């Protein structure tokens, strides 16, 4: 039996992923803090856990891998879930081996993303003030989506 290819061709549709839209969706209803604290990741998380009651743990599955200048860079992410809520706190380390996850914020050592549920202004202010009082913390500032040029670097 001979096979004869069909003369009808199907129209091909190309689907294109809109990265900008994906990045915007990721940051919908989030709050982001930039923190300057020249301390080790684990020391900072230990303070957050012991003094403020969070449960930050390293989540290797969320680690951000970037390739720049033919080298690989790995940015760790710590995670703390709020009980009885959809709110999850993510603490990114902004620096690895001389490179930055968000180069526009080189002066920030950590980026604290609150995602999954509404964080009102009062709660965000309490977090900022509490973090400011921790040992080694020099600066805590809320960052707006408009200030972040490299949003895609934070998407996991």
According to DSSP, the residues that pair with 72 across neighbouring strands are 67
The confidence score (pLDDT) of residue 44 equals 97
3-state helix, strand, coil in the chain (%, to 5): 30, 30, 45
Cα 11 from Cα 28, distance rounded (Å): 36
For residues 35 and 110, the answer to whether their CB atoms sit within 8 Å is yes
Measure Cα distances from 96 to 100, 141, 144 in Å.
Answer: 6, 21, 23
69: left (phi over 0), alpha (psi -120 to 50) or beta: left
The confidence score (pLDDT) of residue 17 equals 60
Q: Which residues contact 150 (CB under 8 A, 6 or more apart)?
A: 101, 102, 103, 104
The confidence score (pLDDT) of residue 68 equals 86
For residues 78 and 56, the answer to whether their CB atoms sit within 8 Å is yes
- Domain 21-146 carries which CATH code? 3.30.310
The confidence score (pLDDT) of residue 154 equals 86
Per-residue pLDDT of the chain (156 residues; tens, 9 = 90+): 555 555 555 566 776 666 677 666 777 789 999 999 999 999 999 999 999 999 999 999 999 999 988 899 999 999 999 999 999 999 999 999 999 999 999 999 999 999 999 999 999 999 999 999 999 999 999 998 888 888 888 887
Distance of CA 94 to the CA centre of its chain: 9
Measure Cα distances from 128 to 73, 87, 91, 101, 137 in Å.
Answer: 28, 17, 14, 21, 11
Burial class (CB in 10 A: 0-12, 13-18, 19+), 131: buried
- Quick one: tokens of 18? 């809109």
According to DSSP, the residues that pair with 99 across neighbouring strands are 96
């Amino acid at each position: 039996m001979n096979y004869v290819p069909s003369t009808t061709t199907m129209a091909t549709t190309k689907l294109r992923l809109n990265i900008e839209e994906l990045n915007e969706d990721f940051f919908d209803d989030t709050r982001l803090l930039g923190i300057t604290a020249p301390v080790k990741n684990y020391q900072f998380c230990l303070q957050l856990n012991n003094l403020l009651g969070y449960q930050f743990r390293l989540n290797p599955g969320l680690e951000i891998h970037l390739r720049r200048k033919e080298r690989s860079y790995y940015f760790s992410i710590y995670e703390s879930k709020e009980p009885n809520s959809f709110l999850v706190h993510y603490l990114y380390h902004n620096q690895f081996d001389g490179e930055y996850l968000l180069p526009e914020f080189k002066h920030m050592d950590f980026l604290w993303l609150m995602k999954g549920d509404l964080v009102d202004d009062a709660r965000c202010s309490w977090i900022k003030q509490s973090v400011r009082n921790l040992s080694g913390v020099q600066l805590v500032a809320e960052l707006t989506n408009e200030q972040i040029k490299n949003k895609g670097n934070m998407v996991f």
